[in-house]
Amino acid sequence: MNMLKQAILQKGVVLSDGVLKVDSFLNHQIDPTLQVDIGNEFAKRFDEVEITKILTIESSGIAPALTTAIQLKVPVVFARKKKSLTLSSNLLTAQVYSFTKKETNEITVSRDFILEGDKVLIIDDFLANGEAALGLASLVEQARATVSGIGIVIEKSFQPGREKLQNAGYRVESLARIASLENNTVRFVEQLVTNN
């Protein structure tokens, strides 16, 4: 994933030891060529896994989930953070605590679109504390479907999200793993390994 890491290094802005702003190419302005590359990479990493559906959460997860779905030729479903008026009452729901916003949101998805027996790839833009991904996985389990894997664009590896997801038995594939944002500098996990 050279294109993604280059974008993070060139266009990402470290706001604090814990916060990386990537709104110029990932989650406010979106670089479509990078998103196609991200979708291709997820499709490759989960190539040998059976996948019938992709589940993500609005809004920033939609772009990487869609480009992955275009490659894998399966539908995408995006969970909502707030109930929609035209959605039926036939909903799967999970509570997701946001450490950034210090609030709990209810995420919902229609039972019509995650079905028993579905093999679901979960895609999201960021992994930090793992709350959103665990909430999405809970929606899948409630529907008696299976989580085929979890694909993350940017993982903050210094936070406990990956460990929580792996302890819950899920396979996690993150395209960029950030070891540290200290001293205003992005350090990738692989970089640290290379430096050893």
**Interacting residues toward a second copy by CB under 8 A:** 15, 19, 21, 23-25, 28-33, 35-36, 58-59, 62-63, 66-67, 69-70, 73-78, 80, 84-87, 100-101, 109-110, 112-113
In the complex with a second copy, the residue whose CB is nearer, 40 or 191, is 40
Cβ of residue 84: shortest distance to a second copy, in angstroms?
8
Nearer residue to a second copy within complex by CB, 35 or 174: 35
State the minimum distance, in angstroms, from the CB of residue 14 to a second copy.
12
Cβ closest to a second copy, residue 16 vs residue 167: 16
Cis-peptide, bond into residue 59, ω within 30° of zero = yes
Give the Cα separation of 169 and 182 in Å (integer). Answer: 30
Give min distance, CB of 110 to a second copy, in A: 6
Tokens of 184: 């205003």
- Closer to a second copy by CB, 25 or 46: give it: 25
Shortest reach from residue 163's CB to a second copy, in Å: 24
* In contact, 118 and 140? CB cutoff 8 Å: yes
Nearest-approach distance from CB 104 to a second copy, in angstroms: 15
Contacts 24+ apart (CB under 8 A), 157-165: 157/189, 159/18, 159/127, 159/128, 159/129, 160/129, 160/130, 161/127, 161/128, 161/129, 161/130, 161/131, 161/133, 162/127, 162/130, 163/130, 164/129, 164/130, 164/134, 165/127, 165/130, 165/133, 165/134, 165/137
Q: Which is nearer to a second copy, 101 or 169 (CB)?
A: 101
